[in-house]
Amino acid sequence: MPKFISFAVLRNNMVKTKFTKETYESWYEQMLLMRRFEEKSAQLYGQQKIKGFCHLYIGQEAVVAGTVSATRKDDRHITAYRDHAHAIALGIPSREVMAELFGKVTGCSKGKGGSMHMFSKEHNFFGGHGIVGGQIPLGAGIALADQYRGGDQVTICSFGDGAARQGALHETFNMAMLWKLPVIFIVENNGYAMGTSVERTTNVLDMSVIGAGYAMPSFVVDGMKPETVHEAIAEAVERARKGDGPTYLEIRTYRYRGHSMSDPAKYRTKEEVEDYKKKDPLEVVKTTMLKNKFADEKWFDEMETKIEAIINDSVEFAENSAWPEPEALWEDVYVQSDYPFIRE
């Protein structure tokens, strides 16, 4: 008889781990970099330096910060188009992320991807993907390759609450469980898919229940704190490394901005946004750090200055970089270097 799990386990979101001063410093620094980087990006979008679709992660920073601190450098990450923060947190120099936003040849995808398609093989970042839910099977496949080779790497596959409605998720969850793939599925539940709230897409408001249909260990996690995210990921990583297969985490978070730069976000109230801002991950971490005397106000001021310099340097780098040559359109399409394209 298969083991029957009726409901997902609600994680006790009380933090048990004692995190060090260094961990807090690094979380704060990373999150501040993500935040300021994207605030700058929004400004540059207004100036038409950045074009196309541009989806900001502002508000959700703790999710990626806690994920990265709980994983190893050789673990794999894949996400959707809301990918700037992932790229930065995984260590892609913010210069290269900014240059990619500009579409410059020095960008991490050589100006081919833009905002939605950051990639870095070097940093085990398997990319930002534009078709909602498309990265879910890819994440499982990346994990399959590690399992196949007998490696102990784990894949972190992130997607949005809207993506959970794609058939691809359900097919993949079943196979990932069946084959005990070393993958952690994260739904970054920010409450909305574009203008559609979670309540308007389902009767099952507890999104973590989705995993139960596949007997996948599933947990609800507070996504406004890197501590809770880190703990949940660390447990899931342990399970995956041991060969016990996937975990599904519903990480509850919020995006402060609209879906993309063109969305005025009229479908929600100012109060709702303000309520979440009260739980702002940067503020929460700062308060904890001050309380534990991990840092003083001066440290935070210096951090602002340091990050500002990095952002300015990134923008300057992007500005001064070259556009890709038009000829590069025919490069990176096939590995075969003399592929016979049709050309007039």
Partner 1 sequence: MRSIQYREALREALSEEMRKDPNIFLLGEEVAEYNGAYKVSQGMLDEFGAKRIIDTPIAELGFAGIGVGAAMNGLRPIVEFMTFNFSLVAIDQVINAAAKIYQMSGGQFNIPMVFRGPTGSAGQLGAQHSQAFENWYANCPGLKVVVPSNPYDAKGLLKSAILDNDPVIFMESEQMYGDKGEVPEEEYYLPIGKAVIKNEGTDVTIVSFGKIIKVVYQAAEQLAKDGISVEVIDLRTVRPIDYDTIIESVKKTNRLVIVEEAWPLASISSEITYMVQKNAFDYLDAPIRRVTTEDTPLGYAPTFVQAFLPSVDKVVKAVKSVMYR
Ligand X SMILES: Cc1ncc(C[n+]2csc(CCOP(=O)(O)OP(=O)(O)O)c2C)c(N)n1
Interacting residue ranges for partner 1, rule: CB under 8 A: 51-53, 100, 103-105, 109, 111-117, 129-133, 162-163, 165-168, 193-196, 200-202, 267, 323-326, 328-330, 333, 341-344
Among Mg ion, ligand X, partner 1, none, residue 252 binds (CB under 5-8 Å by kind): none
What is the nearest approach in angstroms of partner 1 to the Cβ of residue 343? 7
Half-sphere exposure of 50 (CA within 13 A, CB side): 30
Give the residue at shortest CB distance from Mg ion.
Answer: 160
163 binds ligand X (CB under 6 A): yes
Bridge partners of 320, per DSSP, are: none
Interacting span for ligand X (CB under 6 A) from 70-78, 188-196, 275-283, 301-309 = 188-196
- Which amino acid is located at 9 in the chain? V
The candidate with the shortest Cα–Cα distance to 142, out of 127, 132, 131, 130, is: 127
Q: Judged by CB, which is closer to ligand X: 119, or 294?
A: 119
Query: CA-CA distance, 268 to 4, in Å (whole number)?
Result: 38
Q: Which residues contact 108 (CB under 8 A, 6 or more apart)?
A: 87, 92, 96, 97, 99, 100, 118, 119, 120
Q: Judged by CB, which is closer to Mg ion: 43, or 197?
A: 197
Interacting span for ligand X (CB under 6 A) from 34-42, 83-91, 186-194, 225-233 = 186-194
Among Mg ion, partner 1, ligand X, none, residue 223 binds (CB under 5-8 Å by kind): none
Q: Judged by CB, which is closer to partner 1: 6, or 262?
A: 262
Q: Out of 94, 135, 190, 288, name the contact with ligand X by CB under 6 A.
A: 190
Q: Which residues contact 8 (CB under 8 A, 6 or more apart)?
A: 206, 208, 209, 211, 212, 218, 219, 220, 248, 250
Interacting span for ligand X (CB under 6 A) from 39-47, 95-103, 159-167, 292-300 = 159-167
Q: Out of 194, 204, 322, 329, name the contact with ligand X by CB under 6 A.
A: 194
What is the nearest approach in angstroms of ligand X to the Cβ of residue 269? 18
Helix 167-178 / helix 135-149 crossing angle, nearest 10 deg: 20
Half-sphere exposure of 185 (CA within 13 A, CB side): 36
Site for ligand X in 66-105 (CB under 6 A): 82
Site for Mg ion in 168-227 (CB under 5 A): 190, 193
Q: Which residues contact 58 (CB under 8 A, 6 or more apart)?
A: 35, 38, 39, 255, 256, 257
Is residue 140 classed as helix, strand or coil in its secondary structure? helix
What is the nearest approach in angstroms of ligand X to the Cβ of residue 281? 16
Among ligand X, Mg ion, partner 1, none, residue 309 binds (CB under 5-8 Å by kind): none
- Backbone dihedral region of 180: left (phi > 0), alpha (psi from -120 to 50 degrees) or beta? left
Interacting span for Mg ion (CB under 5 A) from 37-45, 85-93, 117-125, 159-167 = 159-167
- The alpha helices in the chain, defined as continuous H runs, are 21-46, 61-69, 84-89, 94-102, 135-149, 167-178, 226-241, 270-277, 281-291, 297-320
Q: Judged by CB, which is closer to ligand X: 165, or 241?
A: 165
- CA distances for 63 relative to 82, 188, 226, angstroms: 13, 8, 6
Among ligand X, partner 1, Mg ion, none, residue 257 binds (CB under 5-8 Å by kind): none
Q: Out of 66, 127, 128, 162, name the contact with ligand X by CB under 6 A.
A: 162
Query: CA-CA distance, 108 to 98, in Å (whole number)?
Result: 9
Instruction: Read off φ and ψ for residue 126, nearest 5 degrees.
Output: -85, 15
Q: Out of 75, 161, 222, 227, name the contact with Mg ion by CB under 5 A.
A: 161
What is the nearest approach in angstroms of partner 1 to the Cβ of residue 342? 4
User: Which residues are at the interface with ligand X (CB under 6 A)?
Assistant: 82, 130-132, 160-163, 190, 192-194, 259
